[in-house]
């Protein structure tokens, strides 16, 4: 490498989950998610793989309209916290208001993973991953936790990720997206249904 030229950070695969169940200025959730994917590509990195759009029941059950969910893989050199900040800005543009944890929203963008990064450290990630279900709705981490601590539990995240990165391996659990998906209850998987007209996943 020539002297005086800083070494570039190698590109990593960022996995982002998208969801929404309320209309935004873009229109219904389907339009919001498609516009958000375009903005992610403009501001964070190259979209290497894009999932189909899926319809999933609102969580908790009965709390509102069904969700539309998707996932993308992004090749990027941005650090994790910069990616998260960019995702939050895109959410705000689409009318996202953070009033209630797990409440209805126009757009939800979650950074699920960045390569094999574990943030802020393995012990903290494991503690949030082991948080009992009755505490999950009441507590939120003060800092970014990667991989997302609920990743392995959520069909509405894993099923779209199967279109994007089935072979990505959780750095602490040692399980791929495909393996984590296979461990979920069949009833949970059956609730995540491709929208009508959604064909094979798109990618480069």
Cα–Cα distance measured from residue 158 to residue 181, given in angstroms and rounded to the nearest whole number? 6
Q: What is the pLDDT of residue 135?
A: 67
User: Could you report the per-residue pLDDT of 145-176, keeping only the tens digit for each?
Assistant: 999 999 999 999 999 999 999 999 999 999 99
Could you state, in order of their start, the residue ranges of all structural domains in the chain?
A: 12-195
End-to-end Cα distance, the chain: 30
Give how far the C-alpha of residue 111 lies from the chain's centroid of Cα atoms, to the nearest Å: 5
3 against 115, higher pLDDT: 115
Q: What is the pLDDT of residue 142?
A: 76
Give catalytic residues, as residue numbers: 96, 105, 108, 110
User: What is Dmax (Cα atoms) for the chain?
Assistant: 61
Q: Tokens for 105?
A: 């929203």
State the pTM of this model.
Answer: 0.89
Domain 12-195 has CATH 3.30.70.560: yes
């Amino acid at each position: 490498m020539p002297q005086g030229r800083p070494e570039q950070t190698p590109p990593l695969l960022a996995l982002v989950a998208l969801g929404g169940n309320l209309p935004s200025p873009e229109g219904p959730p389907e339009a919001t998610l498609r516009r958000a994917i375009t903005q992610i590509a403009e501001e964070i990195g190259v979209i290497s793989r894009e999932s189909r759009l899926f319809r999933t029941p609102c969580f908790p059950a009965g709390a509102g309209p069904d969700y539309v969910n998707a996932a993308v893989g992004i090749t990027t050199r941005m650090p994790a916290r910069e990616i998260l900040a960019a995702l939050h800005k895109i959410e705000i543009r689409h009318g996202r208001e953070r009033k209630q944890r797990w409440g209805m929203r126009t757009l939800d963008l979650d950074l699920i993973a960045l390569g094999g990064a574990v943030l802020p450290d393995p012990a903290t990630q494991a503690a949030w991953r082991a948080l009992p279900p009755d505490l999950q709705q009441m507590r939120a981490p003060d800092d970014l936790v990667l991989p997302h601590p609920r990743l392995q539990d959520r069909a509405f995240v894993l099923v779209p990720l199967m279109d994007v990165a089935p072979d990505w391996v959780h750095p602490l659990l040692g399980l791929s997206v495909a393996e984590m998906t296979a461990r979920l209850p069949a009833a949970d998987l059956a609730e995540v249904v491709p929208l009508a007209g959604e064909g094979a996943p798109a990618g480069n």
